Amino acid sequence: MAADLRIRNESTRKRMYRSDVLTRLANRILEAESISEPSEVSILFCDDPFMTELNKDYRNKNSTTDVLSFEQENMPGQTPQVLGDIIISLETVESNCHGDTDTMREEVRMLVCHGLLHLLGYDHGTEEEKTIMHQKQAEYLGVSEDTAWDFGPKKKRTPLNSQGERKARGR
């Protein structure tokens, strides 16, 4: 069993991930989750304006986010099993991690793990579901549960205006 990751980077940010590292992570997760059939996942890296549009269209939130995932329905017997799409804003990753390259790479790994868990049916709408996702992310990323949810030092985001630009913030 191997995960076929279809990775496309439409972001202006580059070199924030390694495809081989993400593929190994996906394979580890699928194996541990007992997914034995060949599986395909699309990962799109983008910037905040595109992510804001998706977030507005699918979640009615006029702001960016770091990761979205979209499950795919498969036909019976379809091979490979198409799990769905994971979209990650590298602009948000860069901002959340204050530009620290190593932290950004770890954050991308965490977001791929998080998105893939969503594609496999996990959610974090309740405290119990969130605890399970924390535990699974910690296990698959090889980190403590305390750091499994957030790698990068987060900061409050300035909201986007109607043109998709950041509003100026005074002191």
* Mean predicted lDDT score pLDDT of the chain: 86
Phi-psi map region of 98: left, alpha, beta (phi>0 left; psi -120 to 50 alpha): left
Amino acid, res. 79: T
Amino acid, res. 5: L
What sign for the dihedral angle of Cα 98, 162, 167, 157? negative
Q: What is the CATH number assigned to the segment(s) 3-141? A: 3.40.390.30
3-state helix, strand, coil in the chain (%, to 5): 40, 20, 45
**For the residues 78-104, what does the mean pLDDT come to?**
92
pLDDT digits (tens, 9 = 90+) for 17-32: 999 999 999 999 999 9
For residue 167, name the pLDDT band (cuts at 50, 70, 90): very low
Cα of first residue to Cα of last residue in the chain, in angstroms, is 54
CA 132 to chain centre: 17
pLDDT digits (tens, 9 = 90+) for 44-69: 999 999 999 999 999 999 999 999 99
> For the chain, which residues make up each domain, given as ranges?
3-141
pLDDT digits (tens, 9 = 90+) for 93-121: 999 999 889 989 999 999 999 999 999 99
Q: Please determine, for residue 140, whether its predicted confidence score (pLDDT) is greater than 80.
A: yes
